Amino acid sequence: MEFAAVFVLPLIGGYLFAMIWRYTRRSIRRADGHHLYFRAALIGAGLFGLALLIRLELGAHWPSYARNESELIAYISPLEL
């Protein structure tokens, strides 16, 4: 995966989540310029951390999840550039 996509995907995800979630919608709409980017990046980083914690917990408690994840990685790995 290209290095820029690693930073762009959480930024877009954080922005979309902030626009949809009721508690952050107003502050995101009022932000502009760099404030908007930093808020979206902060929310995206938080969502990434939450997803990582959920993934680690699932792998620790359900061995079938870890097995399915390794099969999925083996299936997708030939598509990497």
pLDDT above 90 covers what percent of the chain? 16
**CA-CA distance, 7 to 44, in Å (whole number)?**
9
CA separation for the pair 53, 7 (Å, rounded): 19
Rounded Cα gap, residues 5 and 54, in angstroms: 22
Q: Tens digits of per-residue pLDDT, 37-67?
A: 888 888 899 999 999 999 999 988 988 988 8
Q: Give the pLDDT confidence score for residue 49 in this predicted structure.
A: 93
Tell me if the pTM is above 0.75: no
Q: Which DSSP letter does residue 78 get?
A: G
